[in-house]
Structure 1
Amino acid sequence: MKFSEESPKNALFTPDFTQNPYPVYARLREEEPIAQLMFPDGQFGWMITRYEDAAEVLKDNRFIKDMTKVFGSGSQSIFTSNMLFSDPPDHRRLRGLVQQGFTPKLVESMREHIQQIADGLLDAVEGKDRMSLIDDYAFPLPIIVISEILGVPIEDQDKFRVWSNSIIGASNAEEGPDVYRHMQEFTEYLGHWFAKVRENPGDDLISQLISAEDAGEKLSEQEIYGVVALLIIAGHETTVNLIGNGMISLLQHPDQLERLRENPDLIKSAIEEMLRYNGPVEFSTSRWAGEDLEFRGHRMKRGDLVVVALDSANRDGDHFSDPDLFDITRERSRHLAFGHGIHMCLGAPLARLEGEIAINTLLRRFPNIRMREGADALEWRPGMIVRGVKEIPLSL
């Protein structure tokens, strides 16, 4: 990537940046680690790129998540009525209701079933000479899992992909002509689904949440929509891109790929390195200064937007040795791929387990796997929040 002598901020969100943001991040960390800029959606705010600053912002309660405190109640939608966009005490209440479906014991109990799902998806491409990693494997695996946890009919998974991509695109200021229609379809689907669950509840998480709502345990209709929207959209996007980005990193580093193939027990440290090296969530969701404040010598006004560049923080040489080196034997590092503080990703244990099973199974079943095209030909999804490619054509 070529730079002018101007600020590295000018290279943000360009096609070259989307393809490989890390040289830009390196310059920002060096020259302007807390940078004021205009984001793609037209908002003016602050970007945090160094690890120590990022970790501090993510746990500093002066930076709030509830946009209604900044923009008023009219700014809230079903896609923001959840723990990701709330502050204590609402955050504690909402997270407490949901985390019952993601306890470490419950997640570990899913191992055998997730293995069966992975094998079934790869059975479908057995005997072929090629596969589409995202379409055939990385997308369906986590959407099947989250659908079963929630109680969503699995035959509707393709609808969720369309809705998820559209809504994520809207958050990236990449709105397509169908985004509002997709939001409406998604909302209507949830309404019909909730009505069925109320008539015939099961033992799935949504039945439990609706039962809690009916029992008066401080769960509003808007909040239950928000929680489900978060789990369906964010709950599988992270894993899709963990698998996709992780496989790209392995295929670009054949020595590491061979090391993992020969020693599958390295998968846990390999997953952590995949999350650090080219993580699936590039930016934190929005925070705002809840008051006039000073942070690291910068004066911020109440209502100022603050965004953490997670993938930049995870390449900070002041925190990680050889940060641009992909090393699956790296000692476990406290990367920020799943966030930090009270908003740390609730589904992180599930995403890790799905990634471990998906990647090890793929390498075991297809030991000669390779990309059909060079990494430069991959099309990265534009915008903010998620970092992932649209597709990865593989030869088996």
Structure 2
Amino acid sequence: MRAPTLDELAPAGHDAAAGPYAVHAALRARGPVHRVHVPGSGDAWLVLTHEAVRAALTDPRLRNDIRHSASWETDGGHAVGRNMLQSDPPHHTRLRRLVAGHFTPGRVAGLRPGIERVARELLARLPRPGTADLVSGYALPLPVTVICDLLGVPVADRAAFHTWSNELVLPTGEEAAAASSAALTGYLTDLIAEKTRTPDGSLLAALATTAGHPGSGDGLSREELLGMAFLLLVAGHETTVDLISATVHSLLTHPDQLALLRADPALTGAAIEESLRFNSPVHAGAFRFAAEPLELAGTRVAAGDAVLVSLAAASRDPLAFPDPDRFDITRRPQGHLAFGHGVHHCLGAPLARTEAALALRLLLEHHPALALAADPAALTWRTGTLLRGLTALPVHLG
């Protein structure tokens, strides 16, 4: 018999997809770990408290490689190569080392002028005055442009790339996900071949020069290169889209906080950190699998069991963050887990923070009378096992 879903566990009157935090709070009050059914993936242990999530993310007995799953037979046909998110040390350590230097705070600081240029160009295209969808007009094209420029994806291909990417991270159905996986695999295979033949100074071209020499410790196999391209392109924009739009949404629905930020733009970084805590774009980390029997926050986990750590629930844990359901940009939310924790801590965190802070600062400078153009209750959130974000954010530009 399967475990109940989050929808089935939701308190009366609460929709787990639209507002999961009340569901998390109700479950957390009963204990840190619960058995739940994840549609399309099966049963898993859901970890909800800040302390238990941190412990799970650093427990070496919990592995990211799906081959540790008791129910593993295939990857379902949707994996694109082999990437860091699906790997464990020492394999993960080698893969991460090959790209970590490209995402240091110093390297990202060098990208700031380009990010600002893209943001200003996008803002110039928005109507003034008038209304616009901030997701499609600004929050989406900014990180897509930045990561595609970095990796060398041609402008003409970017719309199709995002369509495939979105289907894989928030699938609408089994057939659609499989089709997007096949299309993206074929596209990236061709793109890597092109970068290998004609290096162009992009990050993907630099990685392609190492392909076929993994034995040296400094190279990638063809499968690893494909997985690396997939992970950097998809993870490099999907979550940042949600971070930018959710931050603007939180500010517009909390006018006192927006007023604080307008009075003191130096709070921009703090506003991004509070948004990461309050509306974590990565709702849950990738599935982990018990390589051996273990105890997690007092719960026995059998070898092969799946474990799903809720980063969003951990960042609303009242034991870690007083009054956690209050959006407060003067809070110093040290220890939020929006970027994960441990060896899989998000490699692109410096880039995401920089993009979001620049996007927010420039948006408020260009549109000082910015306001919502829709009832907040009528807005739709795209939800999946791992990610959560707005499908659209209509605003009055003033």
TM-score (norm 2): 0.93
The equivalent of 2:136 in structure 1 is 135
Q: CA deviation at 1:303?
A: 0.7
CA deviations on 1:305-337 (whole Å, 9 max, x unpaired) are 000111111010101111111111112421000
1:45-194 mapped onto 2 (5 Å cutoff): 45-70=44-69, 74-75=74-75, 78-79=79-80, 81-170=82-171, 174-175=172-173, 177-194=175-192
Q: Who is 1:3 aligned against?
A: none
Q: How many residues align?
A: 387
SS in 2 for 1:110: helix
1:346-393 alpha-carbon deviations (Å, 9 max, x no partner): 000000000000011111100111111111111111321111011111
Aligned ranges 1:307-322 → 2 under 5 Å: 307-322=308-323
Query: 1:248-307 CA deviation, whole Å, 9 max, x = no partner?
Result: 110110011111122111111111000001111111110011101122221111110000
Letter matched to residue 189 of structure 1? Y
Corresponding residue of 2:280: 279
1:182 match: secondary structure: helix
1:218, CA displacement in angstroms?
4.2
Aligned mates of 1:296, 1:178 — CA distance in 2: 38
Code of the aligned partner of 1:169: L
Deviations 1:152-194 (A, max 9, x none): 1122221122111111123xxx416533222221111111111
Question: What residue ranges of structure 1 are gaps of 5+ in the alignment?
Answer: 1-6
Match of 1:306 in 2: 307
- Kindly tell me: are residues 153 and 42 of structure 1, through their superposed partners in 2, closer, same or farther at Cα, counting changes over 3 Å? closer
Give the partner amino acid of 2:188. Answer: L
Q: Secondary structure at the match of 1:197?
A: helix
1:234 deviation in Å? Answer: 1.5
TM-score in terms of structure 1 length: 0.93
Please report the RMSD computed on the Cα atoms of aligned residues, expressed in angstroms.
Answer: 2.0
Pick aligned residue for 1:209 from 200, 207, 224? 207
Runs of 4+ that moved beyond 6 A: none
Q: What is the CA–CA distance in structure 1 between the aligned matches of 2:169 and 2:344, rounded to whole Å?
A: 19
Task: Give the equivalent residue in structure 2 for 1:265.
Answer: 266
Cα distance change on mapping 1:72 and 1:313 into 2, 3 Å = closer
The residue that corresponds to 2:250 in the other structure is 249
Q: CA deviation at 1:42?
A: 4.4
Contact 1:40 / 1:383 at 8 angstroms: preserved in 2? Answer: no
Deviations 1:34-79 (A, max 9, x none): 0011112241110000000001101111100011233668438643
Counting only pairs closer than 5 Å after superposition, residues 234-383 of structure 1 correspond to structure 2 as: 234-383=235-384
Does the Cα contact within 8 Å between 2:14 and 2:23 map onto a contact in 1?
A: no
Q: Alpha carbons of 1:120 and 1:165: their partners in 2 closer, same or farther (altered >3 Å)?
A: same
The 2-side partners of 1:237 and 1:304 are apart by 28
Flag structure 2 segments of 5+ consecutive residues without an equivalent: 1-5
SS in 2 for 1:44: strand
1:10 corresponds in structure 2 to 9
What SS does structure 1 have at the residue aligned with 2:46?
strand
Question: CA 1:107–1:225 in structure 2 vs 1: closer, same or farther (change >3 Å)?
Answer: same
Residues 169 and 176 in structure 1, CA contact (< 8 A), matched pair in contact too: no
Query: Is the CA contact (8 Å cut-off) linking 1:287 and 1:305 kept in structure 2?
Result: yes
**Contact 2:212 / 2:222 at 8 angstroms: preserved in 1?**
no
- Contact persistence 1:57–1:63 (CA under 8 A): yes
Secondary structure in 2 aligned to 1:131?
A: strand
Taking the aligned partners of 1:379 and 1:72, their CA distance within structure 2 comes to: 34
